[in-house]
Amino acid sequence: MAPIRVAIVGLSASAKTAWASRAHLPYLLSARGRERFEIVALLNSSVDAAKAAIAAYELPATTKAYGDPDALAADADVDLVVVNTRVDVHHAVIRPSVAAGKAAFVEWPLAQDAAHARDLADLAREKGVLAKSAVGLQGRLSPVAKAVRAALDAGRIGKLLSVEVRAFGGTNDRDAVPNTLSYFLDRDVGGHIYSIGAAHLIDLVQSVVGEVESPQAQFTLQRPTVTIKDAATGAAIGTAPSNVPDLILISGTLAPSAIVAPHAASLHYRYRRGQQFPGDPALTWTLAGETGEIRVTSEKSATISVINDFPPTVELYDFATGAVELISWQWLPWQEELPIFARGIGAIYEAISEGKGGQVTFEDALKRHEQLEGLLAPWKA
C-alpha cells in the first residue's frame, strides 16, 4: 500500500522546539512512519518560509512549498493536511483542504471556538471525509488511560462511585508567560490554559469514565495582570491583562454504565494555573469504587496526554485486603523508539493509517468544544 501523502502546515524553520518539529516530525521521519506516510508539501506564511523549513529539516528537494491554503487544497498529490499553527489560524488554513475532500489532522483545539469547529465538522461530513478527520486529543490513546480503563472494565474496584481530579499547570509560572505565549491571556484567541491544558486533561478523564452529565463550573481569575518575560532570557519585559480564568472547577454526575454505579456517581475536577505546592504532585486523579480505589499521580506535569520524563504512577487499593498494587503501563515498542512528545501523536498517525476510526474526529472534537465553551460562556472576567 502506497504511503499517505502529507502536507504539514506550520512547520517553521525558526522554531525547531515547536510542536510540529518536536511531536510530528519524529514519527513521520521514523522508519515506521515513512512506511505509512510521505511528507510531500509544506504550507507556511509564504512560499519562501516554506522553502526555508524544507531546507532546515532536510526534507526531500521534491517537497512542494506553499504560502496559500487554496493553492495547497488544489494539489491532487496531497492526501492528508496536518495543521500545527496557532489555534486562531486553524479554521482558515484547513477549510479549503476539507472543502476539496482531503483528509485532515488538526491539533487541538480544532478551532478558536465552537462555531468555527462546527463549520469544519459540518463541511467534513458534507464532503464525505469526516471519518478521515483527526484532532490532536491524543490523551484518549495514552497507555495510562488504557491501563485505568482496563482495570475498571475488569471490575477491579467494582462500580465507580466518584472521580476526583486535582491538577496544576497550563503554563510554567503562575504569574508570568513568555512573550511567545502572550496570546494565552486573550480568551478570544482560543488557545489558553482552559482550552489546552485543562481541556486535554478533562477530555482524557471523560474518555475513561464517561461523559459528565449536567456539568456545572466555577471560574476564577486570580491574577488579572500577568508578567511578560522574554522567551530567550527570562527577563521581565512588561505586564499584560488577562481575561482567561486561572482557577477552573467543574463538577457533575456520571451516567450509569458497565463501570459506573447505578446511582449518581460524581466527578469533581479542579485545575489551577501554575506550579503546585512544593512536594505535592502536579496531578492527583482518584477513582473511588465500591470495592477499591485507583489513584493516578504525576509529580511534575498534569499533561499525561503527552507524558513527560517523570511518568505517572497508577496504583490500585483493594479495600478487602488493604493491599496497594502498582498497575503497570507501557508504550508500544515502536513508541519507545520515539522522543516522548512524539509517542502520543504517533498513535494518532497510526490510527489514521489503519483507517479503522480509532482517532478523535472533527465531530468528536466539536462535542468537547461545545461542552467546554458552554461552561465558560456565562463567565465574565
Q: DSSP letter string over 164-175?
A: EEEEEESSSSSS
Q: In terms of domains, do 132 and 148 share one?
A: no
How confident is the model over 303-332, as pLDDT tens digits?
876 655 678 999 999 999 999 999 999 999
C-alpha dist (Å) from residue 198 to 185, 195, 247: 15, 6, 10
Instruction: Let me know if residue 40 belongs to a domain.
Output: yes
Return the pLDDT at 309.
Answer: 65
274-279 contacts at long range (C-beta below 8 A, 24 or more positions apart): 274/168, 274/169, 274/170, 274/171, 274/172, 274/173, 274/174, 274/175, 274/246, 275/168, 275/172, 275/173, 275/174, 276/168
Q: What is the CATH number of the domain that holds 118?
A: 3.40.50.720
Instruction: Let me know if residue 227 belongs to a domain.
Output: yes
Among 352, 297, 325, smallest CA distance to 27 is for: 352
Place of cell 477549510: 95
Return the pLDDT at 378.
Answer: 94
Strand partners, 169: 273
Return the pLDDT at 305.
Answer: 60
Domain that holds residue 181: 139-328
Q: Rounded distance, CA 359 to CA 361, Å?
A: 6
Position 2 confidence tier, pLDDT thresholds 50, 70, 90: very high
Average per-residue pLDDT for the chain: 95
Instruction: Let me know if residue 110 belongs to a domain.
Output: yes
> What is the number of domains present in the chain?
2
Mean pLDDT of all residues in 273-281: 96
Instruction: Let me know if residue 122 belongs to a domain.
Output: yes
The radius of gyration computed from the CA coordinates of the chain, to the nearest angstrom, equals: 21
| pTM of the complete model | 0.96
Q: In terms of domains, do 106 and 153 share one?
A: no
- How many other C-beta atoms are found inside a 10 Å radius of the C-beta of residue 353? 17
Among 123, 128, 114, 65, smallest CA distance to 94 is for: 123
Which of the two residues, 377 and 303, has the higher pLDDT score? 377
Instruction: Let me know if residue 335 belongs to a domain.
Output: no
Q: In terms of domains, do 234 and 125 share one?
A: no
Residue 182 pLDDT > 80: yes
CB 322 within 8 A of CB 70: no
How confident is the model over 325-366, as pLDDT tens digits?
999 999 999 999 999 999 999 999 999 999 999 999 999 999
324-327 contacts at long range (C-beta below 8 A, 24 or more positions apart): 327/147, 327/148, 327/151, 327/294
Mean pLDDT of all residues in 282-299: 97
Which region, left, alpha or beta, applies to residue 108 given φ > 0 means left and ψ of -120 to 50 means alpha?
beta
Q: In terms of domains, do 49 and 13 share one?
A: yes
Q: In terms of domains, do 131 and 145 share one?
A: no
CB 64 within 8 A of CB 75: yes
Q: In terms of domains, do 169 and 317 share one?
A: yes
Return the pLDDT at 381.
Answer: 79
Where does residue 233 rank: exposed (0-12), middle (13-18), buried (19+ CB within 10 A)? exposed
Q: In terms of domains, do 49 and 21 share one?
A: yes
Q: In terms of domains, do 127 and 263 share one?
A: no
Residue environment code for 32-71, b if the CB has 16+ CB neighbours within 10 A, otherwise e? bbeebbbbbbbbbeebebbbbbbeebebeeebbbbbebee
Mean pLDDT of all residues in 125-130: 98
Among 275, 362, 326, smallest CA distance to 95 is for: 362
Q: In terms of domains, do 108 and 147 share one?
A: no
How confident is the model over 227-262, as pLDDT tens digits?
999 999 999 999 999 999 999 999 999 999 999 999
Sheet holding 247-254, edge to edge: 212-220, 247-254, 265-273, 160-169, 283-289, 292-298, 313-318, 324-326
How confident is the model over 61-115, as pLDDT tens digits?
999 999 999 999 999 999 999 999 999 999 999 999 999 999 999 999 999 999 9
Helices (H), 79-234: 87-99, 114-126, 143-153, 199-209
Q: Which three cell numbers stand for residue 29?
A: 521521519
Q: In terms of domains, do 95 and 146 share one?
A: no
Q: Say which residues have a Cβ less than 8 Å from residue 224's Cβ, sequence separation at least 6.
A: 241, 242, 243, 381
Residue 164 pLDDT > 60: yes
Q: Rounded distance, CA 270 to CA 283, Å?
A: 10
Place of cell 468528536: 364
Q: In terms of domains, do 64 and 85 share one?
A: yes
Instruction: Let me know if residue 370 belongs to a domain.
Output: no
Q: Which three cell numbers stand for residue 376?
A: 465558560
Q: Rounded distance, CA 163 to CA 270, Å?
A: 11
Place of cell 490532536: 136
Position 201 confidence tier, pLDDT thresholds 50, 70, 90: very high
Mean pLDDT of all residues in 45-63: 96
Mean pLDDT of all residues in 293-305: 89
Q: Rounded distance, CA 367 to CA 140, Å?
A: 15
Q: Rounded distance, CA 334 to CA 339, Å?
A: 11
Q: Rounded distance, CA 1 to CA 315, Å?
A: 42
